[in-house]
Amino acid sequence: MKTPKFLLPVATAGVLALTLSACGGGSGGGSAPAAGGDAEQGLDGRGPITYVQGKDNSNVVRPLIEKWNAAHPNEKVTFKEQTDQADQQHDDLVQNFQAKNANYDVVSVDVVWTAEFAAKGWLQPLKDKMALDTSKMLKPTVESASYKGTLYAAPQNSDGGILYYRKDLVPTAPKTWDEMMQMCSIAKANNIGCFAGQYAKYEGLTVNASEAINSAGGSVLDKDGKPSLNTTEAKTGLENLAKAYADGNIPKEGITFQEEQGRQAFQDGKLLFHRNWPYVYNLAVTEGSSKVKDVLGMAALPGKDGPGASTLGGHSAGMSVYSKNKATAKDFLTFLTSEETQKFYAIQGSLAPVLGALYDDQELVAKLPYLPVLKTSIENAVPRPVTPFYPAVTKAIQENAYSAVKGEKTVESALADMQKSIESASAGQ
């Protein structure tokens, strides 16, 4: 019997199992350029820098930058805020790296972009003079900021999927998908939607489709890094989403949801269960308009026979090789990963720390009741495929999952097409 991915030690799942296998071993753009060139420039440079990140939904970036700027009047950081959509953030970074923009000094790198950006030679390797102490960080966060054994970005926030639910309507959270679907009668009786995650055609759908597959005991890649979507477990996983959408347990508007639309629907009291990231907790209990403030439950994602497996999310702060002020950028990375900043991220924005000890910090746990659930979610989380060709891989997953959920393609042919497209995406590796 195959061991489900979420039962494997995280390090195994992260490094061995999910690195797309190289076919033929050619470099094909897959290996980082030799040292020298842009990576040798500006190492001692100090002065103003820009920090680029997606929309600051949690309102944490500005206060942090104000604090930094007060202490570093000659090395001020300017915040360049992108949209709240993962794919647009990615494309904006790619365009600016291609243009060798020296003003994108420090950029927020989604865990799934590390391999691509590192292989393209856009991220400053964090070694030698630029080395960063990662010894106290959660292993999956360090692995997902590394490529071929070198650290390319500073782990900043981790992310694990959480099942948010209405404690007033559901006394005990469901542990399995089937249990959750049975509880949809409660949603019907209350005239609200039952469950939604993120099903618009973008990175979030790759996250959700992978979670459905992993939580049903399948996996996107097998332990040798080859796509393994032709299994009954993968079929059950994607079918769970497609069926729930067809029978209305996932409301029709769910197909347009990215993170923020889902959060809004849940906070407006329109959903019984909602899959989202930890940042939702803080907003759901503090925003004046939130209808779920006093009835917010949080649990592990539901699985097959027990808790399911989240997809590993998160962001790291990478330094552009084109930056002219890398000494300042390095200090800023150290600031972002410091215990004080990590505590601030958690308390202010309910973001998942990268420092392991904070999950057991009594003061923090007392303030943030979700920390133990989050730690379990991250520890059992399954990374998405690690490959410089990730854009093609995620496209294959998103497009086919989207068609299957919408009922435009059968689950079988969606999975067969996914399998084929991932194979050809990795063929050039």
Residues near ligand GLC (CB under 6 A): 86, 110-112, 159, 203-204, 207, 259, 277, 313-315
Nearest-CB residue for ligand GLC? 313
Q: Which residues of 125-141 are buried (b: 16+ CB within 10 A; e: fewer)?
A: bbeeebebebeebbbbb
Q: Which residues of 208-220 are buried (b: 16+ CB within 10 A; e: fewer)?
A: bbbbbbbbbbbbb
**What six digits make up the tokens of 239?**
């079918």
Amino acid letter for position 273: F
Q: How open is the CA angle 318-26-397, to the nearest 5 degrees?
A: 60
* 3-class DSSP assignment, residue 49: strand
Positive or negative torsion for Cα 6, 12, 16, 19: positive
**What six digits make up the tokens of 336?**
């972002």
**DSSP conformation class of 5:** G
* 3-class DSSP assignment, residue 98: helix
| 332 to 155, 325, 426: CA distances (angstroms) | 13, 11, 35
What φ, ψ does residue 155 adopt, rounded to 5°?
-55, 135
Query: Is 360:77 a contact under the CB 8 Å cutoff?
Result: no
Length of the chain as a residue count: 429
What φ, ψ does residue 234 adopt, rounded to 5°?
-60, -40
Q: Is 340 exposed, middle or buried (0-12, 13-18, 19+ CB in 10 A)?
A: exposed
CA distance 290 to 207: 26
CA distance 357 to 10: 17
Residue closer to ligand GLC (CB basis): 123 or 170:
123
Q: Is 182 exposed, middle or buried (0-12, 13-18, 19+ CB in 10 A)?
A: exposed
